[in-house]
């Protein structure tokens, strides 16, 4: 499970997958069985070993009560990943959404400029709607195009606050091809200012002014070797 809390990466990794990690990728190592959690100890990229349900409870309480968060990312190594994921979801109201990475015939990617940042088209799922249907509908509504949906790329989770309510949004991402852009235009009432087809290099520049979750989606796309160098 990959969660972006206040745009910072938090990963939940099972002990079975722990052996695939590289210790050199982390700046701070904490063993939850040997020491208590403190935000002051968490600098750079942090890994927390032997994280129990009590550890998760303490960690989320700390980050919700303090604005003094200096870590760049946190990786929590847990024994029972499904139980921990359910525990985390219970801290929030879960909202389901879906979106897409859209390619045109030139293999350029469609990026949108919304609320001062570059983003990818996505939106909340309607009742009785499947994620694939949501992804296709939202992309077409926000961008005024017709798309053909292909394979799923990844799932992201990110948090935000609506009034006093803490929201955890799950977004399923799909690779898509644009099949009709004759009526392409940004959905202004959703705060979308402009749409641009970008090469890989242009996308990387745009990601400098984007969200960590969007950078993660593009990284997953590249790992799957879906982008060819322009």
Burial of 78 (0-12, 13-18, 19+ CB in 10 A): buried
71 domain-assigned: yes
Listed residue (18, 32, 11, 158) closest to 99, CA to CA: 158
Burial of 33 (0-12, 13-18, 19+ CB in 10 A): exposed
Residues 197 and 111 in one domain: yes
Residues 123 and 190 in one domain: yes
Mean pLDDT value across the chain = 92
Range of the domain at 213: 94-223
Residues 56 and 114 in one domain: no
Distances from the Cα of 26 to the Cαs of 21, 41, 98, 189, 198, in angstroms? Answer: 10, 13, 31, 42, 33
Residues 135 and 199 in one domain: yes
Residues 204 and 120 in one domain: yes
pLDDT value at position 229? 40
Residues 141 and 53 in one domain: no
The CATH number given to whatever domain includes residue 169 is 3.90.79.10
Least confidently predicted of 66-75, 122-131, 137-146, 176-185: 66-75
Is the pLDDT at 163 greater than 90? The verdict is no
Residues 47 and 85 in one domain: yes
Each residue of 206-221: pLDDT tens digit? 999 999 999 999 999 9
Residues 45 and 153 in one domain: no
**Could you give the number of structural domains in the chain?**
2
Q: Are 40 and 34 in contact (CB under 8 A)?
A: no
Is the pLDDT at 66 greater than 90? The verdict is no
Residues 206 and 102 in one domain: yes
pTM: 0.88
Fill in the DSSP letter of residue 49: E
Q: Are 217 and 226 in contact (CB under 8 A)?
A: no
Q: Are 92 and 4 in contact (CB under 8 A)?
A: no
């Amino acid at each position: 499970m990959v969660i972006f809390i206040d745009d910072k990466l938090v990963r939940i990794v099972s002990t079975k997958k722990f052996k695939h990690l590289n210790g050199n990728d982390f700046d701070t190592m904490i063993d939850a069985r040997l020491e208590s959690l403190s935000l002051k100890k968490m600098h750079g990229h942090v890994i927390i070993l032997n994280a129990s349900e009590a550890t998760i409870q303490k960690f989320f309480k700390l980050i919700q009560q303090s604005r003094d968060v200096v870590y760049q990312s946190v990786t929590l190594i847990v024994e029972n990943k499904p139980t921990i994921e359910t525990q985390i979801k219970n801290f929030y109201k879960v909202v389901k959404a879906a979106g897409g990475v859209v390619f045109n015939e030139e293999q350029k990617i469609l990026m949108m400029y919304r609320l001062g940042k570059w983003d990818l088209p996505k939106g909340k799922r309607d009742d009785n709607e499947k994620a694939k249907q949501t992804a296709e509908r939202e992309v077409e509504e926000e961008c005024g195009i017709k798309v053909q949906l292909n394979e799923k790329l990844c799932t992201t989770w990110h948090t935000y606050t609506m009034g006093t309510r803490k929201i955890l949004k799950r977004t399923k991402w799909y690779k898509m091809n644009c099949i009709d852009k004759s009526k392409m235009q940004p959905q202004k009432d959703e705060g979308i200012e402009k749409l641009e087809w970008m090469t890989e290099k242009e996308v990387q520049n745009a990601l400098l002014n984007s969200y960590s979750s969007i950078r993660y989606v593009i990284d997953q796309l590249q790992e799957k070797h879906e982008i060819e160098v322009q």
